[in-house]
Structure 1
Amino acid sequence: MATAAGETAYFQRGSLFWFTVITLSFVYYTWVVFWPQSIPYQSLGPLGLFTQYLVDHHQTLIQNGYWLAWLIHVGESLYALVLCKSEGITNGRAQLLWFMQTLLFGIASLSILIAYRAKRQKQI
């Protein structure tokens, strides 16, 4: 399948809204996993109370969930590389950008690449 020169280097940055939500969530989750004693639970309202309950009663689940989330992001980023190759995105920089963006932001990035694939398949 022949691709246009621009398609071999296709990359699209994701939504700033979702990247902000995901970044803040992962920062908070990291804080909960590694420094739970420093969290001002009472100042965070219902989120703080829920977090304190989880820390007090389900610490192992929180820690395992944290590493599972990172593992899922690694899997998604590897899948993004597979999609790049199958869609003719051969530019190394574009592939690296897809890999890094998907590693950090998961499905918020991967969904863009999947939508690109679906759009290209409809054109064929």
Structure 2
Amino acid sequence: MAATKENFQRVPFWAAGIVLVFFALIGLALFAPDATPWYVMGPVGSFVQKTIKTDPERVQQLPLRILGMHTLETVIAFFITLYKGISGAARQKWLLQTLVFGVFSLVPLVMFTPAKDRKIK
């Protein structure tokens, strides 16, 4: 199947926002845990601050675990695009998007119907 614009859907902005905020939170926890005003973030900030103090090894391992999960989701997305007949640039976009946004991209891919399988009304 040709890589057409119809064979790709972008992640919703709200999902991209959640992922980017989460990445920023992890970055602050790793690189500036003492300089970050965690009290401003309410219960989330107090939870992160408590986790940093009580279990710093888990915080340090978190980026590698996230990378591993997103890589596994990307492999799953590869096989889903193969099964659905999505190839070329559309497949590359799905895979890159799944690597960055994870499950927020994988679930729409599972529910996605390629352009050749859609019925024109």
> Take 1:54 and 1:98, find their aligned partners in 2: how far apart are those partners?
34
Alignment correspondent of 2:104: 108
What runs of 5+ residues in structure 2 fail to find an aligned partner? none
Runs of 4+ in 1 over 4 A off after TM superposition: 5-9
What displacement does 1:8 show?
Answer: 9.3
Preserved CA contact (<8 Å) 1:33 1:66: no
| 1:10-69 Cα shifts (integer Å, max 9, x gaps) | 111121111111111111112212321221123322222221111111111122233111
Q: For 1:7-46, list aligned pairs within 5 A.
A: 10-46=7-43
Matched, 1:99 2:109: no
Counterpart secondary structure, 1:17? helix
Alignment correspondent of 1:61: 58
Aligned residue-pair number = 116
The code of the aligned residue for 2:65 comes to: L
> Take 1:31 and 1:113, find their aligned partners in 2: how far apart are those partners?
31
The code of the aligned residue for 2:10 comes to: R
What runs of 5+ residues in structure 1 fail to find an aligned partner? none
**Aligned residues: CA RMSD:** 2.4
Matched, 1:74 2:51: no
Structure with more helix by fraction: 1
TM-score under structure 1 normalisation? Answer: 0.80
Q: Identity percentage over the alignment?
A: 25
> Take 2:32 and 2:95, find their aligned partners in 1: how far apart are those partners?
29
The code of the aligned residue for 1:107 comes to: V
> Take 1:79 and 1:50, find their aligned partners in 2: how far apart are those partners?
32
TM-score under structure 2 normalisation? Answer: 0.82
| 1:56-114 Cα shifts (integer Å, max 9, x gaps) | 111111222331111101111122112111111122x1111111110111000000111
